[in-house]
Amino acid sequence: MNIRRRKAIGTAATVVFLIVYALVMMAVGGMLVVGRGPLFELPFYALAGAGWLPAVMGLIRWMSKPDTP
């Protein structure tokens, strides 16, 4: 697969993943965290805010691989 196709697939996958991830984290936060005070909310939103990074970093790494013959 050439790099151009990988970047197109990776970009679409990143957008879809981020939308789904944000909606899931909002639902989880709304059900489990909201109203419990800042000692629960701050760590949850800090972890949820950084939780998408490993998945997207893996996608970016895959998108950046050189072309295979």
Query: Is residue 68 a part of any domain in this protein?
Result: no
Question: What tens-digit pLDDT sequence spans the chain (69 residues)?
Answer: 889 999 999 999 999 999 999 999 999 999 999 889 999 999 999 999 999 999 999 999 999 988 876
User: What is the per-residue pLDDT for 32?
Assistant: 92
Q: CA 12 to CA 6: how far, in whole Å?
A: 10
User: What is the per-residue pLDDT for 60?
Assistant: 95
What is the secondary structure of 2-67 as a DSSP string? -HHHHHHHHHHHHHHHHHHHHHHHHHHHHHHTTTS-HHHHHHHHHHHHHTTHHHHHHHHHHHTSPP
- In the chain, the number of structural domains is 1
User: What is the per-residue pLDDT for 54?
Assistant: 96
| Cβ proximity of 15 and 57 under 8 Å | no
Query: Is residue 43 a part of any domain in this protein?
Result: yes
Q: CA 18 to CA 45: how far, in whole Å?
A: 15
pTM for this one? 0.85
Residue range(s) defining the domain that contains residue 38: 3-63
